[in-house]
Amino acid sequence: MTVSGKNALVTGGTRGIGRAVVEALSDAGANVAFTFRSSADEAAALASEVEGKGVKALAIQGDAADFEAAGKTIDQVVSEWGSIDILVNNAGITKDGLLLRLKEEDWDAVIGTNLKSVFNYCKSAYRQMMKQRSGKIINMASIVGVSGNAGQTNYAASKAGIIGFSKSLAKELGSRGINVNVVAPGYVETDMTGALSDEAREAMLGSVVLGRPATPQDVANAVLFLASDAAGYITGHVLHVDGGLAM
């Protein structure tokens, strides 16, 4: 599953799944740009780590929900490296709560970061990938976007939206040699899921057929596959990386 010499961009790339994706793509030979919102020291350290593998890195600060910032990020990658071959839309947040208590700003924040960011970066990369007549877009959804989860109406809506968006975009871009796919992780051990109560964690694991949570690397391996030529005839697909949670 080589991506040697390819130019990749990963949004939300400094922690958890995003960081694992940056590491997996760079291990496989890709130059990797990644965005971050506030952790500048962490981003600089990751860029240095990537460059230590003999490939190029770009750490770009910005808000994934900002359309103008997304355009500038895509322009910077293309200007410095000449193309954008792989786009991984990974940036995401949670602001959980039962709908009864959910604030409007919590809805807007989650939809903006999780769903609008996918529009922002796909829209900004659209023309360049069409010009190249090639490209791999991998959008990070969640098994919650497939099956729902109490207390996560905003998160589930954002992730379900990503799935519908991606299937539609796959139909728009397929004739131009561009693949659009979705990875839908289940329960993954990250900082984000670390905030769950022990009771919620046990309940979720009780439904996982493989009996363990996913690691960020498990998800990154799926992204690497979809970004590689090995997945050249796959588009519009939602790949569940959930240990059988939604089976």
Enumerate the active-site residues: 155
Strands 135-140 and 31-36: unpaired
Give the separation between CA 78 and CA 82, rounded to whole angstroms: 5
Q: Find, among 74, 153, 57, 53, the residue nearest to 119 by Cα.
A: 74
At residue 135, what are phi and psi to the nearest 5 degrees? 155, 155
Order of strands, sheet of 238-241, starting from the edge strand that comes earlier in the sequence: 57-61, 31-36, 7-10, 86-89, 135-140, 178-185, 238-241
Contacts of 210 (CB under 8 A, 6+ apart): 243, 244
45 vs 24, 42, 52, 160, 212, CA distance in Å? 16, 5, 11, 33, 30
